[in-house]
């Protein structure tokens, strides 16, 4: 599957765009330079005939693409397959080990934010008991990307946001000086403010001394 994908990506590559994209993403891994609309077409065509006999078969393909990738678009392909509609039955707590590997080894916002919001979040919604425990554990991890995931995994939950979980996942990072954690805190609060602005104002007011200026600014941005 990977050789076929690489052939399509090389055919669509733009050597002028590739270094620009790599510089923007501050990526050690190079780009082919394929724009997003064309990239989606290539993925849909390449993986059109996929059939997954089991969750293990699906996970093995995702990990093969992920681990053997030499270009960033090849890792994006792994994320595309991870979220394929045909893999919907496999989006269970058993998939969390797969996503943990992608989060830890990807270790950058373009991978992590998509996985957090669109893969981990839905599993949390469907299996709150077990995934809730995992998010609480990740919130205290030495790995900042697992911490960030625990904070932003509920971005699309709106009125279904588990505020107790959100605040518990924010708590270990409240005093962090790490930009990506400060930004995540503000982002998660800002997103919930669309649903309950008074609650976000109350939380920010109560924790103003511990929240970074960045987190406060982001949280109150649309209020």
pLDDT at 76: 98
Residue 32 covered by a domain = yes
**What tokens does 147 get?**
């911490």
pLDDT at 1: 85
Residue 23 covered by a domain = yes
Based on the number of CB atoms within 10 Å of its own CB, is 185 exposed (0-12), middle (13-18) or buried (19 or more)?
A: buried
pTM attached to this predicted model: 0.95
- Cα pseudo-dihedral 68, 70, 75, 76, rounded to 10: -150
pLDDT at 165: 98
Residue 71 covered by a domain = yes
Residue 24 covered by a domain = yes
> Domain with 25 in it: what CATH number?
1.25.10.90
* Residue 32 C-alpha from the chain's centroid: 22
Domain span at residue 29?
1-90
Start-to-end CA distance of the chain, whole Å, equals 48
Per-residue model confidence as pLDDT tens digits over 9-35: 999 999 999 999 999 999 999 999 999
- Closest by CA position to 120, among listed 109, 131, 110, 136: 131
The three-state DSSP-derived secondary structure of 97-151 is: HHHHHHHHHHCCHHHHHHHHHHHHHHHHHHCHHHHHHHHHHHCCCCCHHHHHHHH
3-state secondary structure of 177: coil
Based on the number of CB atoms within 10 Å of its own CB, is 159 exposed (0-12), middle (13-18) or buried (19 or more)?
A: exposed
Number of domains forming the structure of the chain: 1
Residue 55 covered by a domain = yes
Which residues in the chain land under pLDDT 70? none
Residues 58, 81, 64: CA angle, nearest 5 degrees? 60
**CA dist., res. 148 & res. 146, Å (int):** 5
Residue 65 covered by a domain = yes
**CA dist., res. 103 & res. 145, Å (int):** 6
Residue 160 covered by a domain = no
Per-residue model confidence as pLDDT tens digits over 71-83: 999 999 999 999 9
Residue 28 covered by a domain = yes
């Amino acid at each position: 599957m990977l050789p076929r994908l690489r052939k399509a990506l090389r055919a669509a590559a733009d050597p002028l765009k590739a270094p620009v994209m790599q510089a923007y993403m501050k990526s050690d891994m190079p780009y082919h330079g394929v724009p997003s609309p064309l990239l989606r077409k290539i993925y849909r065509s390449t993986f059109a005939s996929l059939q997954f006999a089991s969750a293990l078969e699906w996970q093995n393909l995702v990990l093969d693409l992920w681990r053997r990738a030499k270009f960033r678009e090849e890792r994006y392909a792994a994320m595309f397959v991870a979220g394929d509609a045909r893999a919907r039955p496999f989006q269970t707590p058993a998939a969390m080990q797969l996503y943990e590997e992608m989060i830890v080894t990807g270790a950058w916002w373009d991978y992590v934010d998509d996985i957090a919001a669109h893969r981990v979040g839905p599993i949390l919604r469907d299996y709150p008991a077990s995934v809730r425990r995992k998010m609480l554990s990740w919130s205290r991890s030495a790995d900042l990307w697992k911490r960030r995931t625990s904070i932003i995994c509920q971005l699309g939950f709106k009125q279904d946001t588990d505020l107790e979980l959100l605040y518990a996942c924010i708590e270990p990072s409240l005093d962090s000086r790490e930009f990506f954690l400060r930004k995540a805190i503000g982002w998660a609060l800002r997103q919930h403010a669309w649903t309950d602005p008074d609650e976000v104002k109350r939380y920010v007011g109560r924790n103003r001394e511990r929240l970074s200026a960045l987190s406060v600014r982001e949280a109150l941005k649309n209020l």
